[in-house]
Amino acid sequence: MTSAPTPPTGWAAMLARASFIELDARARATALLDAGTARELCGPFDRIESPWLEPQGVVPASDDGVVVVKGELGGRPAVVIGIEQAFQGGGIGEVSGVKIATALSLAARDSRDGTPTVAVLLLETGGVRLQEANLGLATVAEVCSALLELRALQPVIGVIAGALGCFGGMSIAAGLCTRLIMTAESRLGLDGPEVIESEAGVAEFDASDHTLIWAVDGGTQRTRTGLADTLVLDDVAAIRSAVLEATAGGVPAEHRSRRIGELRARLEAVDPGDPPEPAALAAVWARKPPPGDVR
């Protein structure tokens, strides 16, 4: 499951790399696809904006912060869906959510009709866009449903590169992905540190403690503990090759979110009143070998 727990960190690799994190969503999506194949759908010039932001005094975006790019990955039909973290904290609203859900459904339709189409999700999001509240929540459910529809037919690869990370309802979508790729800079969690601190107090989670945040939510920890599959260097070529490798793996016999027996064993291995330090969790879970799904 954990194919590369340690990314290359030698100085030569660090100097030679082209940062993926520094790219915006459109450039990220294009960079992953085979050269010359990228074609954006429902782009900014279609001007389908959120109808809910302007009445609240919030400036909308002509792409609503989600970029859908169709093309090829290693010569196979693919769609890359990128969430732009610079717009409304990557929050999912009505338009952006339906863009993601529809793109996944269309890829599933093509896959059923003889054109297998893989999907890559670039997940930099705080979750539901609270300015669209209930419609954001509803579309996140629709994204999960469409993701599951495609996942049964073709791989859906999640990439969390950073800097924002993947939180809120969209972290559930991350958990549903066929495979999940993260960098050491990225984070994954349901409730972000600030939200936990404001709901439960600083003793529960100190949102100013960055060491704690990355120890719990960081890509290195998530990969070590099997909640993500591949840890990669923040480098365009490294991330593209990890995505190609993940899509080549095809559809697994059993997805992570179906391994309920493993989830049970993991929860039973930890006393919630006295949990291990984050650094010790991987070892605790490794001592409890997955019993195989009893169902």
Partner 1 sequence: MSRGQSWTQALADGGVRAAVPSVITADAALDGDAARLIAVVPDPRSPYHRAREGEVGLREGLALAEAVTEVVTEDTPLAREARRPIVAVVDLPSQAYGRVEELLGLHDALAAAVDAYARARTAGHPVITFVVGTALSGGLLAHGLQANQIVALDDPGVVIHAMHKEAAARVTLRTVAELDELARRIPPLSYDVADWAKLGLCDELLRVQNAGSPTGEDVRKAKDALAAAVGRARRGPRDLGNRLTSPGASQTRGASRRVREALTAQWR
Instruction: Sort strands 118-122 and 156-160 into parallel, antiparallel or unpaired.
Output: parallel
Contact pattern from residue 195 through residue 224 relative to partner 1, giving x for each residue in contact according to CB under 8 A and a dash for the rest: xx-xxx---xx----------xx----x--
Q: Which is nearer to partner 1, 8 or 275 (CB)?
A: 275
Instruction: Mark 5-34 with x for binding to partner 1 (rule: CB under 8 A) and - for no binding.
Output: ------------------------------
Q: Kindly state the tokens that stand for 135.
A: 């419609």
Name every residue whose Cβ is closer than 8 Å to that of residue 193 and which is 6 or more positions away in sequence: 205, 206, 207, 212, 213, 217
Nearer to partner 1, 195 or 251 (CB): 195
CA dihedral 22, 2, 120, 267 (to 10 degrees): -100
Q: Which of residues 168-197 bind partner 1 (CB under 8 A)?
A: 168-169, 171-176, 188-191, 195-196
CB of 288 to partner 1, least distance (A): 12
How far is residue 176's CA from residue 180's CA, in Å, rounded to a whole number?
Answer: 9
Identify which of residues 15 and 294 has a Cβ nearer to partner 1 in the complex: 294
Q: Which residue type is seen at 194?
A: E
Q: Which residues pair with 187 in a beta bridge?
A: 218
Among 24, 44, 112, 131, binds partner 1 (CB under 8 A): 131
Q: Does 1 bind partner 1 (CB under 8 A)?
A: no
Q: Which of 122, 236, 246, 281 lies at the binding interface for partner 1 (CB under 8 A)?
A: 281
Question: Quick check: 96 and 52 in contact, CB under 8 A?
Answer: no
Identify which range of 94-102, 155-163, 231-239, 243-251 contacts partner 1 by CB under 8 A.
94-102
The reply on whether position 289 binds partner 1 by CB under 8 A is no
Distance CA 257, CA 121 (A): 17
* Long-range CB contacts (within 8 A, 24+) of 278-287: 278/212, 278/215, 278/216, 278/221, 279/215, 281/221, 281/224, 281/225, 282/221, 282/224, 282/225, 282/226, 285/225, 285/226
Q: Are the beta carbons of 98 and 139 closer than 8 angstroms?
A: yes
Total residues contacting partner 1 (rule CB under 8 A)? Answer: 81
Closest CB to partner 1 among 23 and 195? 195
Interacting residues with partner 1 between 222 and 241 (CB under 8 A): 222, 225, 227
CB of 269 to partner 1, least distance (A): 9
Cβ neighbour number for residue 177 with a 10 Å cutoff? 26
Residue 264 found at the interface with partner 1 (CB under 8 A): yes
Stretch that binds partner 1, among 3-11, 28-36, 241-249, 253-261 (CB under 8 A): 253-261
